[in-house]
Amino acid sequence: MSALFQNYNRRPVHLVEGKGTYVWDDQQKRYLDFTSGIAVLTLGHCPEELVQAMKAQSEKLWHTSNLYTSHAQEKLAHDLVKDTHLAHAFFCNSGTEANEAAIKLVRKHTKKHKMITFEQSFHGRTFAAMSATGQAKVHSDFGPILDTFEYVPFNDVAALEAAVDDETAAIMLEVVQGEGGVHVVTPEFAEAIQHICDEKGILLVVDEVQTGIARSGTRYAFEQTALKPHIVTLAKGLGGGFPIGAMLGTAELFDTFNVGTHGSTFGGNPMAMAIAQTIVDVTFNDSFLEKVKASSNYFKEQLAIHLPEVEVRGMGLLLGIELTQPIPEVVAACEEKGLLVVGAGANTLRLLPPLNVSQQEIDEAVQILKQVMLVNV
């Protein structure tokens, strides 16, 4: 019997080494990694910049706690909000923690507790973030969850209008529902949300844990929509493989998130800051973002050419293809042929290459997908 709790449905592959978009198992079999550790490996496996940043910081200072001033946190916070309408950052260690901070901040700021989230959303596994998640399977067997979330069908303006009232503190959404099946917010829905928030003084929280840090082709996915969130949450891609989370907020929230409100022992630790700063330095510039958009367009074009019958959704390098075959079978067949992919929602295969993926690697992945689809159809 395993010494591990069996809370994950793991593939038997044992990955031991990675470089760029490739990863090797303990049998020296090579795979093209189009999971990126679920949208985490922004620059691929073991990128030189991060290895150097990690080495340099590891010889200087690992941890201080938040008892002391941190110039590294100040700098990263500044760079994350630069040229946006946001003003401040709080650092933690994961996506669910970032959302936990956001939910606490919403409640403290508004003195209300009703929040609207969406069906098929995913916001994490801690109690508040789990309660925010609009999927019954995530809640089941845990007893009473926070009962202040109302789950509204995604991209349904009438349902949203009907759900909002004077007690509504906030609306919280993902620009692309990642875990829920790669569903993108429609322009009309984004406009309706923004309009409702403006009109009724409701806070807007955008969960960019999966979409943030250039994965969508812009620094944050909300930048491609009408949404102007008061709070943005980040994690996955921000650390490129090192655990970190962040909550960004507007200036009006500054006084609410005051001394003693919230905290984290590890949050903003020097190792995490050195690595995340490197990620932001590399990704937050026009030439990098243009390359992500170009790779996204190329990937979508190739999928349209080679798999014309499948629907492709998503933004940037967070793409999903809707399939009729059982996803676990497709994942296993791709793996057999040397391509790692992950499911989302009921029938969607998620394609999440590192943001610096090459055209040749995209070609290779598309060829494997095509072979697998032909065999399985």
Closest to 295 (Cα-Cα) out of 314, 309, 276? 314
Query: Under the criterion CB under 6 A, does residue 178 sit at the interface with ligand PLP?
Result: yes
Q: Which of 171, 172, 173, 209 binds ligand PLP (CB under 6 A)?
A: 209
Q: How far apart are CA 203 and CA 140, in angstroms?
A: 28
Is residue 151 close enough to count as binding ligand PLP by CB under 6 A?
A: no
Check: CB of residue 20 under 8 Å from CB of residue 240: no
* Closer to ligand PLP by Cβ: residue 126 or 325: 126
Max Cα-Cα span within the chain? 60
**What's the number of CA atoms in the CB half-sphere (13 Å) around residue 105?**
32
Task: Name which of 31 and 122 has its Cβ closer to ligand PLP.
Answer: 122
Shorter beta-carbon distance to ligand PLP: residue 37 or 373: 37
Compute φ and ψ for 362, nearest 5 degrees.
-65, -45
Residues in binding contact with ligand PLP, number by CB under 6 A: 15
CA distance 98 to 124: 9
Output 96 or 283, the one with its CB closest to ligand PLP.
96
Q: Candidates 202-210, 252-260, 314-322, 351-359: pick the segment binding ligand PLP (CB under 6 A).
A: 202-210
Residue 348 φ then ψ, to 5°: -115, 135
122 is in an annotated binding site: yes
Q: Which stretch binds ligand PLP (CB under 6 A): 26-34, 94-102, 144-152, 324-332?
A: 94-102
Name which position in 95, 240, 241, 320 contacts ligand PLP (CB under 6 A).
95
Q: Determine contact, residues 349/327, Cβ cutoff 8 Å.
A: yes
Nearer to ligand PLP, 227 or 373 (CB): 227
Cβ contacts of residue 181 below 8 Å, gap of 6+?
120, 320, 344, 345, 346, 347, 348
Smallest distance, Å, CB 330 to ligand PLP? 21
The smaller minimum CB distance to ligand PLP, of residues 23 and 344, is found at 344
Q: In this chain, which of 109, 114, 123, 183 binds ligand PLP, going by CB under 6 A?
A: 123
Task: Specify the stretch interacting with ligand PLP by CB under 6 A; choose among 95-103, 136-144, 151-159, 344-352.
Answer: 95-103
Contacts of 141 (CB under 8 A, 6+ apart): none
Buried b (16+ CB within 10 A) or exposed e, 6-39: eeeeeeeeebeebebbbbeeeeeeebbbbbbbeb
Single residue of 179, 194, 253, 330 touching ligand PLP by CB under 6 A: 179
Does 207 contact ligand PLP by CB under 6 A?
yes
Q: Which of 34, 50, 101, 174 touches ligand PLP by CB under 6 A?
A: 174
**Closer residue to ligand PLP in complex, CB, 100/361:** 100
Q: Is 358 annotated as a binding residue?
A: no
- Whose Cβ is closer to ligand PLP: residue 86's or residue 373's? 86
Question: Edge to edge, what strands does the sheet with 311-315 contain?
Answer: 311-315, 318-322, 348-351, 342-344
Q: How far apart are CA 278 and CA 263, in angstroms?
A: 24
Residue 235 interacts with ligand PLP (CB under 6 A): yes or no: yes
CA 187 to chain centre: 20
Which residues, other chains included, contact 74 with Cβ-Cβ below 8 Å and sequence gap of 6+?
none
- The residue among 209, 213, 275 whose CA lies nearest residue 245 is 209
In the bound state, the residue with its beta carbon closest to ligand PLP is: 95
Q: Is 28 annotated as a binding residue?
A: no
The footprint of ligand PLP on residues 342-361 (CB under 6 A) is none
Of positions 117, 194, 210, 356, contacts ligand PLP by CB under 6 A = 210
Looking only at residues 11 through 70 of this chain, which bind ligand PLP when binding is defined by CB under 6 A? none
264 is annotated as contributing to ligand binding: yes
Query: Between 178 and 217, whose beta carbon lies closer to ligand PLP?
Result: 178
Residue partners of 84: CB distance under 8 A and separation at least 6 = 219, 220, 223, 248
Residues of the shown chain interacting with ligand PLP in the complex, contacts defined by CB under 6 A? 94-96, 99, 122-124, 174, 178-179, 207, 209-210, 235-236
Per the annotation, binding residues for N(2)-acetyl-L-ornithine are 125, 264
Per the annotation, binding residues are 95-96, 122, 125, 207-210, 264-265
